[in-house]
Amino acid sequence: MREFWALVRRDLVLARRQGSAATSVAVFFILTVTLFPLGVGPESALLGRIASGVIWVAALLATMLSLDRLYQGDYEDGSLDLIALSPLPLELVSLAKTLAHWLTTGLLLVLLSPLLGVLMQLEGSAYLTLVAAMALGTPSLSLFGSIGAALTVGMKRGGVLVSLLVIPLFIPVLIFGVGAVGAAADGLSQRPHLLILGAIFMFSLVLSPVASAAALRLNLE
Amino acid sequence: MNTSQTPKHDAFVADRLTCIRGQRLVFTDLSFTIAPGCATVLRGPNGSGKSSLLRLVAGLLKPATGRMTWAGADVAADREFHRRQVRYVGHQDAVKPTLTVDENLRHWAAIYGESRPTKAAVRDALSTQDLTGLADLPARLLSAGQRRRLNLVRLVFSPGHLWLLDEPTVSLDAESVTRLETSLREHLDRKGSALIATHVGLTIGPHDTVELSPARQLDEYDA
């Protein structure tokens, strides 16, 4: 496992040095949500009702924005060849890189979401559920996103294609993420929604490394 | 995960390899053996498949037919062992511009499963390509030749068994080529082996040669 953590650490150091990726995700997330009160007006009942949907959609788009760098940088400078030839199996390589991606983007979204909840007049009883749902849902976004990023790694402008590939996979996360927060705001049980988010996470955790590794293998040929 | 941790000095045998790339038959029925302590040089005009062969031996490409073995054991049966054996230097240098020279080297060592190196060990390795003075420089300031030398230091640091070098002398000056020859000689003396594609400039003692001819269109071959 030493090589696995070495790769995670390397990606975290690179993300910190380059800085821009994590910052642009956070800025995009905040700006998008901030525009809604300006666009639909400050009426708190209306804002509160759309809050969870707006926050989740913004989180989805912010994740998508960051996906094209997941493998592209290493592909372009030849690092991906050397990583693929390291003792670590390609499945674990993809898992390590996805974990680093989540730590630099998804985790940020989880931490920012309650602040944006305040901005969107979110129901007081729903904050805990919002954070829990984001914490369960954003890893799935990174994992599904990794498949799209791996499939398009050799392409010059793969950004649009990545979005088309991963949106269908993102939709269940969006539905149950919004559902959990909505249920909590209405005083219903959020448990079934969170359980399904957890199940989606487990599913993506199994599917993503295998699918990403297969896609990377094809693109390295 | 820690099976076969250290590289073994076995003979590498390629048996009747065929490579097809985009409707072109790059080479067919190619067989060769690389014994421990021996270097094999690939010769052939541009486009004759030297890079393809190196990527194929590394495991990045799959052969259309044929097999590769270590002391009789099929490469496909134990991929992890194979990856521990080979060290590949391709056209690109895989140097991260935002990391320093020292950090670039350390990250590769860690990803290749080497234990955490001491400062002295890093300096020693860098000195084989005369990069010691540049250790704390961000790699974006390196010239093309210096980046290539940093990539070659990786080999000294984590030597594996079989070096796969694709035109390693590109953008190197004469002194650096001599330093590469020294590293290569030491590697061979330690019973390591190497498969090298090179047009010019590299003096390698006694070696075997594999000749490649230009790729052919597949239909021509079928007829």
| Tens digit of each residue's pLDDT (9 = 90 or more) over A58-95 | 999 999 988 988 999 899 999 999 999 998 999 999 99
Does residue B179 sit within a domain?
yes
Most B CBs within 10 Å: which of A7, A72, A85, as the mutation test of the B interface? Answer: A85
Closest-approach residue (CA) in chain B for A96: B111
Most A CBs within 10 Å: which of B91, B111, B154, as the mutation test of the A interface? Answer: B111
Q: Report the pLDDT averaged over residues B199-211.
A: 79
Q: Give the pLDDT of residue B3.
A: 40
Does residue B2 sit within a domain?
no
Tokens matching residue A35:
């525009």
Q: Report the pLDDT averaged over residues A155-171.
A: 87
Does residue B50 sit within a domain?
yes
> B-chain residues within 8 Å CB-CB of A87?
1, 80, 83-84, 112-113
Q: Which of A200-204, B33-37, B90-94, B165-169 has the highest mean pLDDT?
A: A200-204
For residue B117, what are the CA distances in angstroms to A2, A149, B35, B102?
A: 14, 33, 30, 11
Question: What percentage of chain B has pLDDT greater than the value 70?
Answer: 94
Domain count, chain B: 1
In three-state secondary structure terms, A81 is helix
> A-chain residues within 8 Å CB-CB of B84?
87
Closest CA to B194 of B202, B184, B179: B184
Q: Which residue has the higher pLDDT, B97 or A20?
A: B97
Q: Give the pLDDT of residue A143.
A: 97
Contact status of A50 with chain B (Cβ, < 8 Å):
no
Q: Which residues contact B111 (CB under 8 A, 6 or more apart)?
A: A3, A6, A7, A10, A82, A83, A86, A88
Contact status of A218 with chain B (Cβ, < 8 Å):
no
Q: H or E segment at A158?
A: none
> A-chain residues within 8 Å CB-CB of B96?
14, 77, 79
Q: β-strands B24-34, B216-217: how paired?
A: antiparallel
Q: Give the pLDDT of residue B223.
A: 45
Q: Report the pLDDT averaged over residues A44-63.
A: 92
CB contact under 8 A, B80 and A87: yes
Q: Report the pLDDT averaged over residues A139-160.
A: 90
Calpha distance B106→B110 (Å, rounded): 6
CB contact under 8 A, B113 and A7: no
Q: Give the pLDDT of residue A156.
A: 78
Calpha distance B139→B156 (Å, rounded): 19
Question: What percentage of chain A has pLDDT greater than the value 90?
Answer: 72
- Band of residue A1 on the pLDDT scale cut at 50, 70, 90: confident
CATH number of B22's domain: 3.40.50.300
Q: Is the pLDDT reported for residue B215 higher than 80?
A: no
- Band of residue A195 on the pLDDT scale cut at 50, 70, 90: very high
- Band of residue A183 on the pLDDT scale cut at 50, 70, 90: very high
pLDDT in tens, A98-123: 999 999 999 999 999 999 999 998 88
- Band of residue B201 on the pLDDT scale cut at 50, 70, 90: low
Strand-pairing partners, residue B20, are: B25
CB contact under 8 A, A220 and B96: no
CB contact under 8 A, A87 and B113: yes
**Running DSSP on this structure, what letter comes out for residue A93?**
H
Q: β-strands B193-197, B208-211: how paired?
A: unpaired
| Full residue range of the structural domain in which residue B199 is found | 12-222
Q: Is the pLDDT reported for residue B1 higher than 50?
A: no
Q: Which residues contact B64 (CB under 8 A, 6 or more apart)?
A: B18, B19, B20
Question: Please, what is the average pLDDT of chain A?
Answer: 92
Q: Report the pLDDT averaged over residues A30-46.
A: 90
- Band of residue B72 on the pLDDT scale cut at 50, 70, 90: confident
| Full residue range of the structural domain in which residue A47 is found | 2-220
Calpha distance A203→A171 (Å, rounded): 14
Calpha distance B115→A95 (Å, rounded): 22
Q: Which amino acid is at A159?
A: G
Q: Which amino acid is at A141?
A: L
- Band of residue B219 on the pLDDT scale cut at 50, 70, 90: low
For residue B188, what are the CA distances in angstroms to B86, B111, B183, B195?
A: 14, 24, 9, 11
Domain count, chain A: 1
Calpha distance A57→A170 (Å, rounded): 10
Q: Is the pLDDT reported for residue B77 higher than 90?
A: no
Tokens matching residue B167:
């035109």
Does residue B3 sit within a domain?
no
Q: Give the pLDDT of residue A63.
A: 93
DSSP string spanning chain B?
--TT-S-----EEEEEEEEEETTEEEEEEEEEEE-TT-EEEEE--TTSSHHHHHHHHHTSS--SEEEEEETTEEGGG-HHHHHHHEEEE-SS----TTSBHHHHHHHHHHHTTPPPPPHHHHHHHHHTTT-GGGTTSBGGG--HHHHHHHHHHHHHHS--SEEEEESTTTT--HHHHHHHHHHHHHHHHTT-EEEEE-SSS---SS-EEEE----EEHHHHH-
Does residue B113 sit within a domain?
yes
For residue B162, what are the CA distances in angstroms to A77, A141, B28, B190?
A: 23, 40, 22, 11
Contact status of B81 with chain A (Cβ, < 8 Å):
no
Q: Give the pLDDT of residue B49.
A: 87
